[in-house]
Structure 1
Amino acid sequence: MAAKVKASHILVKTENEANEILSKIKAGDKFEEVAKKFSQCPSGRNGGDLGWFGKGMMVKEFEDASFKGKEGDVVGPVKTQFGYHIIKITGTK
């Protein structure tokens, strides 16, 4: 079976915004609440949840960062053509 990752993310326009959001999460703010408040992706309404995905389903930079992490990790900022992502790995299989 091919590897899969379950992840949530927060998408913003600038690296500065992404770093500010990452600081909030590291200070103890709940990832899902921060996603609802700041993410510019429609998934923000669901706390940033993207569900399960395999290789080739996401843009390369996002996929690479997601598959390097382990469950519970928060990684980023990761720059893609869409903006800057903070990614929370919520599952791997």
Structure 2
Amino acid sequence: MKTTRSVLVSLFAAALLAACGGAAPEPKAPVEKAPEPAPEAPKPEAGGEAAAAGPDAEKVALCIATANAKRAKFSGEPPKVTVRHILVKYKGAKNADASITRSREEACLRALEARDKLAKEGADFDEMVKQYSEEPGAASRGGSIGAVERADVVKPFADAAFELSVNQMSDVVETDFGFHLIFRTE
């Protein structure tokens, strides 16, 4: 996985340099190394879900890493923020209904799909809440949980919510309840 991650970082850096007018490094090494991780993907043999993910294994790994990125409390942050969110649950998540059968990896990818529809395709947040959120009553509230203080929500949610500017959406964030997309309204 580290090889794959370094390849992705190299490709991203090359694209960024090219977009900024810098000289992009030769893509020979990343292109040659890219096929190497493929044989490693089926490694989890004992019923591992990563093996079932197949070609999406890299996408899943990146999604999980993003969702669990370290965030910290900012100095000077407001005492409260008003937020809306989309919650995608998975089997075994805290308060997940018995009807939820998707894996953690599938839930992360589902949250990522909702994020992409919102950020890249300009989808309506209320519609995405109706389509993706599995929090009881979320659809009727547009995903709103109102004004919250840090102490009102779990730490990963608070850290992500309080780092947002007004009218900004977070990336995928994981808590014990599942995967969230958080949109700060005030």
- Structure 1 length as normaliser, TM-score? 0.91
Q: For the residues of structure 2 that align with 1:58 and 1:37, how far apart are their CA atoms?
A: 23
Deviation at 1:61, TM superposition (A): 0.2
Deviation at 1:53, TM superposition (A): 0.7
Unmatched 5+ residue regions in structure 2?
Answer: 1-77, 90-106
Equivalent position to 1:44, from 117, 127, 138? 138
1:20 aligns with 2:121: no
Higher RCO (CA-CA < 8 Å; seq separation 6+): 1
Deviation at 1:36, TM superposition (A): 1.6
Deviation at 1:76, TM superposition (A): 2.1
Could you tell me which amino acid in structure 2 is paired with residue 67 of structure 1? F
Structure number with larger C-alpha Rg: 2
Q: For the residues of structure 1 that align with 2:131 and 2:111, how far apart are their CA atoms?
A: 13
Report the equivalent of 1:31: 125
Unmatched 5+ residue regions in structure 1?
Answer: none
Identity of aligned residues (%): 36
SS at match of 1:76: coil
More helix by share: 2
Report the equivalent of 2:79: 3
TM-superposition CA deviations, 1:3-36 (whole Å, max 9, x none)? 1000000000311001000011011101111102
More strand by share: 1
Give the superposed CA RMSD.
Answer: 1.1
